[in-house]
Amino acid sequence: MKKRIMKNMWMAGLLFCMCTQLFCSCGRYRPAAKDKVYAGVICYNQNDTFLGQMIECIRKQFERLENDALDITMTIRDSAGSQRTQDDQVKELIDAGCNVLCVNLVDRTDPSEIIDLARENNVPIIFFNREPVAEDMMQWDGLYYVGADAKQSGIMQGEMAVDLIKSNNRIDRNKDGKIQYVVLEGEPGHQDAIIRTENAVDTLKDNKIKLEKLSYGIANWNRAQAQSRMLQMIGQHQNKIELVLANNDDMALGAMDAYSKLNITRENLPVFFGIDGTDVGLEAVLEKELSGTVYNDKEGQAAAIAKLAVAIVSKKGMEDITFKNGKYIYLPYSKVTIDNVSAYLGEYKKNKK
Ligand code: GAL
Ligand code: CA
């Protein structure tokens, strides 16, 4: 008796399976499964001019990728300069169900806690802008990096300075055959600070420009800090400074603020070079106050981040992405001077809409 009941139940089960299979394989009635990307985007400090604009680009790129088969939800967090806060935010976003994270580390040498959390929960991470050291990137195969090559930006800044100095003999204002210069540097330990400085200076030297370094100031990418460092340097060297190399546009603008605060006349001004091509930086190039900047392609980097995030979650399109060493994507920099700035301004106005 028991055997018969079992047999009947088994038969009923089989019949049920056959029916559901028949129903499901009838493509017309099967609703297409949507891919759902829940992206958590965390920024080291949204007061940073370049990063503030870049986060906006990431938001736009994710929006652009949404379609009938793809839902994207993006949550943004600002770590306001604290790695502890950032670690907590990673935990919070993983608990909230994010299936991919885009992390702009506060301390690029200290991602272990974040990596452990991500690996335990199997949530891949795309780091951006602040590059973890290679050993940390090797800790898990769910880790990627999107950024740009610091060396290239330094070389380009140096080349623009070489071109200007060679074509304009008024840069060497005291006519001693040397260019007296100062450097404004970003955060110590950031891959874009020391490498940019070294390569800009080496490029000038390689091109036979005689240099005299008067001083340098660390201003942590920040306009107000750059202004106060520059005020100190002007105090020490008065009108001797002929060239200011800044690791980013905000610091170049801060240096210019110092000169205007002191009401120094135009003929006693040095020439200034920045890096980033932020909105304010591009405007300053257009106004001929900033002699040149190097465009840090935030739109390109944001597009690469969004595309990679979608490919990771949907497990589609990974083969269309070109990586360096299997996990790195670097976007190229480009030079911006008065000759081509309008094209870049046009681009940013277009993106603002
Ligand atoms: C650099 C950028 C700086 C600053 C920094 C923050 O790439 O040039 O302006 O935003 O990143 O990590
Ligand atoms: Ca000189």
What does the pLDDT look like over 115-142, one tens digit per residue? 999 999 999 999 999 999 999 999 999 9
Q: What distance in angstroms lies between residue 163's CA and the mean position of ligand 2's atoms?
A: 16
Q: How far apart are CA 196 and CA 208, in angstroms?
A: 19
For β-strands 271-273 and 211-218, DSSP reports them as unpaired
Reported as type and span, the H/E element at residue 220 is none
Q: How far apart are CA 304 and CA 129, in angstroms?
A: 12
Q: How far apart are CA 178 and CA 169, in angstroms?
A: 11
Query: Which residue lies with its CA nearest to atom 10 of ligand 1?
Result: 50
Q: What distance in angstroms lies between residue 49's CA and the mean position of ligand 1's atoms?
A: 8
Count each helix (H run) and each strand (E run) in the chain, helices first.
12, 12
- Sign of the Cα torsion 320, 324, 328, 330 reads negative
What is the rounded radius of gyration, in angstroms, for the C-alpha atoms of the chain? 26
**Ligand 1, atom nearest to 44 Cα:** 12
- Low-confidence stretches of the chain (pLDDT < 70) are 1-32, 347-353
Q: How far apart are CA 154 and CA 201, in angstroms?
A: 8
Q: How far apart are CA 28 and CA 184, in angstroms?
A: 64
Burial 119-147 (b: 16+ CB within 10 A, else e): beeebbbbbbbbbbeeebbeeeebbbbbb
What residues sit around ligand 2, an ion, with C-beta below 5 angstroms?
A: 172, 174, 176, 178
For β-strands 293-295 and 334-336, DSSP reports them as antiparallel
Note the pLDDT of residue 242. Answer: 98
pTM of the model: 0.90
Residue 319 burial (CB count, 10 A): 7
Decide whether any atom of ligand 1 lies within 6 Å of the 144 Cβ.
no
Q: Which residues on adjacent β-strands are paired with residue 102?
A: 41, 126
Nearest ligand by distance to the CA of 195: 1
Q: What distance in angstroms lies between residue 173's CA and the mean position of ligand 2's atoms?
A: 6
Note the pLDDT of residue 277. Answer: 98
Decide whether any atom of ligand 1 lies within 6 Å of the 48 Cβ.
yes
Nearest ligand by distance to the CA of 178: 2
For β-strands 179-185 and 70-78, DSSP reports them as unpaired
**Ligand 1, atom nearest to 45 Cα:** 6
Q: What distance in angstroms lies between residue 11's CA and the mean position of ligand 1's atoms?
A: 67
Q: What distance in angstroms lies between residue 333's CA and the mean position of ligand 2's atoms?
A: 30
Distance of CA 105 to the CA centre of its chain: 11
Crossing angle of helices 112-121 and 83-95, rounded to 10°: 10
Note the pLDDT of residue 170. Answer: 96
Nearest ligand by distance to the CA of 180: 2
Query: Which residue lies with its CA nearest to atom 11 of ligand 1?
Result: 129
CA distances from 304 to 75, 159, 199, 322 (A): 18, 28, 26, 10
Decide whether any atom of ligand 1 lies within 6 Å of the 51 Cβ.
yes
**Ligand 1, atom nearest to 148 Cα:** 7
Note the pLDDT of residue 24. Answer: 40
- Give the angle 231-235-237 at the CA atoms, nearest 5°: 115
Note the pLDDT of residue 22. Answer: 39
Q: What distance in angstroms lies between residue 66's CA and the mean position of ligand 2's atoms?
A: 56
Residue 73 burial (CB count, 10 A): 15
**Ligand 1, atom nearest to 276 Cα:** 8
The residue type found at 195 is I
User: Look-up: residue for tokens 């090559």?
Assistant: 149
Note the pLDDT of residue 23. Answer: 41
Nearest ligand by distance to the CA of 146: 1
For β-strands 35-43 and 293-295, DSSP reports them as unpaired
User: Look-up: residue for tokens 């802008």?
Assistant: 129
Q: What distance in angstroms lies between residue 263's CA and the mean position of ligand 2's atoms?
A: 22
290, 249 contact by CB (below 8 A): yes
Question: 288 in helix, strand or coil?
Answer: coil
Q: How far apart are CA 161 and CA 297, in angstroms?
A: 21
Decide whether any atom of ligand 1 lies within 6 Å of the 129 Cβ.
yes
Q: How far apart are CA 193 and CA 147, in angstroms?
A: 14
Q: How far apart are CA 219 and CA 209, in angstroms?
A: 26
Decide whether any atom of ligand 1 lies within 6 Å of the 58 Cβ.
no
Decide whether any atom of ligand 1 lies within 6 Å of the 248 Cβ.
yes
Instruction: Write out pLDDT tens, residues 211-257.
Output: 999 999 999 999 999 999 999 999 999 999 999 999 999 999 999 99
